[in-house]
A and B are shown apart, each in its own frame.
Chain A
């Protein structure tokens, strides 16, 4: 009996290992819920982007500046927010020409930042601690660029996650992200084994989305409402016009392996936690820093800083994401597509610009692309897919560090003709993606 067992052991082990390998491959493909599309470079396309069939891209500008979010007006004016002003100009104004390229026609706003949004005759723009608005004329031109109204001031600006992305609803409210100044609310930020600060009091003034009135001067925390909490840092956000609700993309926490190597190996840590899209209602709590979302287990996990071990789940209290992407890809732009140029399946769907990871080493980095999720009535109606790829101009396994990426997607905007605009904040390249048979 014994000798029979011993002889067959290696074979059994080999078979089991084989099965395990394939089931893991299959399971990870299923759980990632990503649709594989055939992407290619359009004939005659001078960009290196790879896109679905009948889509093509052109470069409309190379600003040689850190171009973050942008808006495009009905008249073809483009306002681009720069992370760092160039020659005293933190907002660049471009005008689309007939040849498709955009020329610079102006600039103003001597402050760096990320957020910019157009609504009800005003251009809204943020520094990393304040929000301003500029009155527009009927041509959507800024009337007095040197004298904006300051509508929000005194927001916390940490040394990380300091950008203030913004969006407006249809009832005169503005929503502003205030990112957590810490990675995971540890007593010693990013230190191996350091536990979480009990209750994470920084959530009183950061780690969430704050709501303010869009038309009142000099509001701060006292005049605003903490609309949603437990969001580590949101850069991409948009107002869904179909169900009149706010959606945000959270940047998930970094360094599970570096900080808690006893619970997470490097490979696991390279894909966890999920980068989550949340549908956000007033009063919601997404759980940062107490939990993170595991896209493989499809579960909210107790963070190791607060007693988790990579296995303990949390079932109540916190909202679930509507879409969970692989970790660290850094979603910097979110846009619900309301244009008429793209085919029907894109209507009201979500485009997400992924800036690309730095935190997957020694695995290759990921992201550096624009993803798409089809939506119906505010809910995903299919799996996510890569829509525009190859911003890095490197194949996936060669991309070991963000410095190697040629371009990094950041902001998204819809043009009046239904084209999709994508900014890059490495070289300030602005891509325009169009559809046409």
Chain B
């Protein structure tokens, strides 16, 4: 059973799912920068985010907030990048539910990795929002 699950994940990973919002970049099998960023971000999401925010971005009731269609994800790039760089230790209220687990800073990720994972999060789980670039992250990291 475990093997089957791992196979499914491997399959998921290598086939890289749907790419809403940025599929137009993949013309004639040539991946654009943004699509590559999304694909790298999906792998990063699995190893750094999924255990709390879950495979579908749905979060965990009372504990870990969802990433689906929330202002934290779709709103300003600055706010979202800062959550990853600095962590989040306040209660989050979304749609009448509160989420209270501490999120640690993930500042050990590179600027490019943070840009990739946030580009992914902003364009999966029914989300569609502007891409995030490594330079956006670099600017904020320097400003700490």
Tell me the A residues contacting B by CB distance below 8 Å.
83, 159-160, 162, 182-183, 188-192, 194, 255, 257-258, 267, 358-359, 361-364, 397, 400-403, 426
- Measured between beta carbons, the chain B residues less than 8 angstroms from A364 are 5
Known contacts being A159-B100, A190-B102, is A403 close to B2, with CB within 8 Å?
Answer: no
In the bound complex, how far is the Cα of B54 from the Cα of A387, in angstroms?
28
Interchain residue pairs A-B with the least CB separation, the first 10: A191-B104, A159-B100, A401-B54, A358-B60, A189-B102, A403-B58, A190-B104, A361-B51, A361-B50, A400-B55
**A205 CA to B17 CA in the complex, in Å?**
48
Count how many pairs of residues, one from A and one from B, have CB atoms less than 8 Å apart in the complex.
Answer: 75
A87 to B97, CA, bound (A): 16
| The residue from A160, A361, A363, A402 contacting B102, defined by CB atoms under 8 A apart | A160
A119 to chain B, nearest CB (A): 28
14 contacts between A and B (CB under 8 A): A159-B89, A160-B102, A162-B100, A188-B105, A189-B89, A189-B102, A190-B104, A191-B87, A192-B106, A358-B52, A359-B51, A361-B55, A362-B9, A400-B54
* Interchain CB contact under 8 A, A255 and B51: yes
A403 and B55 contacting across the interface, CB-CB below 8 Å: no
Per-position 1/0 for B91-121, Cβ under 8 A of A = 1000000001111111010000000000000
For the complex, would chain B's binding face be called helix, strand, loop or mixed by DSSP majority? loop
- The answer to whether A402 touches B2, judged by C-beta atoms less than 8 angstroms apart, is no
Among B1, B9, B91, B101, the most chain A Cβ lie within 10 Å of the Cβ of B101
Residues in chain A near residue B37, CB distance under 8 A: none
Looking at chain A's contact residues, is the secondary structure mostly helix, strand, loop, or mixed?
loop
Q: Is the CB of B51 within 8 A of A258?
A: yes
Given known A-B contacts A267-B2, A358-B60, A160 and B55 have beta carbons under 8 A apart: no
Question: Which residues of chain A are within 8 angstroms of B6 by Cβ–Cβ distance?
Answer: 362
Q: How many residues from B make CB contacts under 8 Å with A?
A: 31
A182: B residues at CB distance < 8 A: 102
Residues in chain A near residue B108, CB distance under 8 A: 192
Docked pose: A183 CA to B101 CA in angstroms: 9
Report the Cα distance A361→B9, complex, angstroms: 11
**Residue among B59, B100, B102, B104 making CB contact with A192, cutoff 8 Å:** B104
Q: Are B101 and A402 interface neighbours, CB within 8 A?
A: no
Given A361-B50, A362-B5, A403–B61 Cβ distance below 8 Å?
yes
* A267–B3 CA distance with the chains assembled, in angstroms: 11
Shortest distance between the CB of A92 and any CB in chain B (Å) = 19
Considering the chains assembled together, what is the distance between the CA atoms of A384 and B108 in angstroms? Answer: 42
Interface residue B4 (Cβ < 8 Å from any Cβ of A): yes
Partner of B54, one of A190, A255, A361: A361
Contact A159 B55 (CB under 8 A): no
Contact B102–A358 (Cβ < 8 Å): no
Q: Does A397 lie within 8 Å of B51, measured CB to CB?
A: no
Answer yes or no: B64 CB below 8 A from chain A CBs.
yes
A401 vs B54: C-alpha distance when bound (angstroms) = 6
> How far does the Cβ of A226 sit from chain B's closest Cβ, in whole Å?
25
- Nearest Cβ distance between residue B56 and chain A, in whole angstroms? 6
Starting from the known contacts A358-B63, A362-B5, A400-B54, 19 additional A-B residue pairs (CB-CB under 8 Å) come to A159-B89, A159-B100, A188-B104, A190-B101, A191-B104, A192-B104, A358-B64, A361-B55, A362-B6, A362-B46, A362-B55, A363-B2, A397-B1, A397-B4, A401-B60, A402-B54, A403-B54, A403-B56, A403-B60
- Cα–Cα, bound, A4→B87 (Å): 58
